[in-house]
A and B are shown apart, each in its own frame.
Chain A
Amino acid sequence: MNFDAVSLVLIIPLVAAALLAVLPEYKLSSRVNVLASALTLGAALSLIAHRPPTTRYFLVDDLNIVFIVLNTFVGFTTSVFSASYIAHEVETGKLTSGLLRFYHALYQIMLFGMNLALVTNNIGLMWVAVELATLSTVVLVGVYRTPEAIEAAWKYFILGSVGIALALFGTTLVYAAARPVVGAGLNGMVWTELLPHAAALDPALMNIAFIFLLLGYGTKAGLFPLHAWLPDAHAEGPTPVSAVLSGLLLNVALYAILRFKILFAANPHVIPPGPLMAVVGLVTAVFASFMLYPRYDIKRMFAYSSIEHMGIITFAFGIGGALANFAGLLQMVMHSLTKSAIFFSVGHVSQAKGTQKMEDIRGLTESHPLLGWGLVLGVVAIVGMPPLGVFMSEFLTLSSAFARAPWLAAPLVLALLVAFGAIMRHTHKMAFGPVQGSVKPSRASYIPMFIHLAIVFAAGVFIPAAVAVWFKHVAKILG
């Protein structure tokens, strides 16, 4: 294997992880962390220009390059945010340098796992990669070692493991279905080999496989009723991890589902995966939107918002068609950027105010104007108001769904409205009104947050033609 960009995307995080595991000083290691993430991002960007040839192990096509670039980008910005976040945690004594070594190394391992899951051309390797990413995030979630954090990590771990097991069984079944057609051995797991023969695969086995894969990777993606780990994992872990969980790991799981969806949709004898995904997505969105109301913890609320968005995205992909797929893809990108920006803001807010309880956070726009308005802007974006990017994707999702199946779009509107009401209700109280809690200025790094929001804003009003064409092409791939 020569040293091409794909291997760089994978090797840099691995090397960095090894290095970080031994570096003692947290300031240095957080810089190394940023550097490594930046290098990975650079490697990923170079993939756009020079697409490496497809091998049996690695594949870079229009679909996953979106994910890869997004992944490495958010990974990079989060590492920047993480540096300032961690500094504060060390000051307040919540984390020790020993734990931080652990933290930084695992951060890179997690990135490695996710990148591997995205670039691999092999459904077995993909499974391994997702598991790796999951395990590393489990540890990251539990890093504070408070009872709540351990409980969240444990829950995440157990439910995630069951999900992983189900996904593996599904993968095995796909291979079993493919073997008679593609032949035994590695080829039976290579996605680019499977796809041309999709129509010939045993439909009955594929049906069962789809159930297992949907449940398995759906657990990772936080689809109802498999979402239970997600809110707590977001709420109890360090905020950079929450940002990465929401912004990236969910996408990776979704990416896996999408890959399989393409495969299943190509076989006319299999139960079409679209409707099932649409229904699951819809139920997820409606459920999560209601769950947003009785929330006390700010991070948990935004975690539920992530679930809601995953529901919407799954719904959009389930509906299918050029418009809805485009919308789903766009929504996914926008959600990653926005939600991580929100978590950046939330992280600093909860550090500044010393609490994650929304009751104790009041009048943010006055006490911490930049953070407060950043949060408001992020929330405005996440609930789908223009001129920010989520609006465009929700516009397309809703309008294409409503024109085709009004009865499916109606619950989605309900979900969006209920979620809107809930998030706004909480945010309103936090951002406005008389100040409550600490007013001491926070030493925050605003750059990652505002970069994300700027991109989201730009995408809301202007998507460059090249990107649009590319996304549209992907939408076509998705069927």
Chain B
Amino acid sequence: MGVMDYNIAHMLAGGLMLASLMMLYQKRLYALINIYALQAFLLALAVAWQAALQHAPQLYITALIALLFKALLIPFALHRIVARLHIHRKIETVIGTGPVMLSGMALVALAMDVMLKAAAHTALLEREDLAFALAVLLLGLLMMVTRRNAVSQIIGFLSLENGLILAAAGTKGMPFMVEISIAFSILVAFIVIGLFLFRIRERFDTVDLRALDDFRGEWRLAEAFSGEPSYESGDEIS
């Protein structure tokens, strides 16, 4: 593998992580969705590049799925949802951008530290891919836990999943790549459809998850029996 090959792979994986970081400080939903599309596009490129490097034709399918499904279809659907459901365009965050970015940095550091140390025996490229993937995964999780808005939470999950595909694609000769990416696509589709479903059935006025909280199990039962106000659904616990 030449230096150029490596550099390109490195750049693409790094780009994925950068996109994740960018998502962290987005304040507007549309921008967030766009960056997600960008990340998915980068992922498609990275997987395709891996396919070329590893001479693994099935990875092209994965790349194609990523491109069509994640970079195009899902962002489009999300746009529609946001528009259709009149969701606040502004993203409600739990903690401020500064702390979030700082924690994001810390997570990246953690991922690098853990992964690079661990995968010392494997090829450099694979190691870095795994490290970036872990970082993306952690950042995705971070996003999920710092956003109140359902759409942005889902985007967090989607970016997390991008990290997984990156890791899987970066690991040489990983079998079932196609199956896995299809499985994930189904999962994601479910999630997005789920969003629609909830809206369609008009169970919830907003996709802000606080509305969902009202239907947490036993909530009303507990209130009925104890008569005392239950816990705030706010953020005192985190």
Contacts and interface: CB of A to CB of B under 8 A. Distances in A.
Interface of A: 122, 124-125, 127-128, 131-132, 135, 138, 145, 147-148, 150-152, 154-155, 157-158, 161-162, 164-165, 168-169, 172-173, 175-176, 179-180, 183-186, 188-189, 202, 204-205, 207-208, 231-232, 235-236, 294-297, 300, 357, 359
A128 B176 contact: yes
A135 B186 contact: yes
Contacts of A128: 176, 179-180, 183
* Of B117, B198, B221, B222, most A-chain CB atoms within 10 Å: B221
* Of A176, A294, A295, most B-chain CB atoms within 10 Å: A176
* Of A125, A165, A183, A188, most B-chain CB atoms within 10 Å: A165
B187 A162 contact: no
Interface string B153-167: 100010011011001
A294 B212 CA distance: 22
Contact of A204 (B120, B133, B203): B120
Given A131-B183, A165-B137, A296-B218, A172 B171 contact: yes
A151 B213 CA distance: 8
Contacts of A175: 171, 174
Nearest to A164: B187
B216 A232 contact: yes
Interface of B: 114-115, 117-122, 126, 130, 133-134, 137, 141, 144, 153, 157, 160-161, 163-164, 167-168, 171-176, 179-180, 183, 186-187, 190-191, 194, 198, 201, 203, 212, 214-218, 221-222, 225
A305 to B, nearest CB: 15
Given A128-B183, A161-B157, A208-B118, A297 B218 contact: yes
Given A165-B164, A357-B221, A359-B225, A202 B122 contact: yes
Given A176-B126, A188-B173, A147 B215 contact: yes
Contacts of B221: 296-297, 357
A172 B117 contact: no
Nearest to B123: A180
A189 B179 CA distance: 14
Given A147-B214, A154-B194, A154-B198, 8 more contacts: A122-B175, A135-B187, A150-B198, A158-B153, A169-B133, A169-B164, A188-B174, A235-B217
Contacts of B117: 204
Contacts of A235: 217-218
Contact of A185 (B115, B173, B212, B218): B173
A204 B217 contact: no
B201 A145 contact: yes
* Of A147, A294, A357, most B-chain CB atoms within 10 Å: A147
A207 B134 contact: no
A297 B217 contact: yes
A295 to B, nearest CB: 8
Contact of B141 (A131, A162, A172, A359): A162
B217 A173 contact: no
B175 A188 contact: yes
Contacts of A176: 119, 122, 126, 130, 171
Given A168-B164, A172-B168, A173-B130, A157 B174 contact: no
A169 B194 contact: no
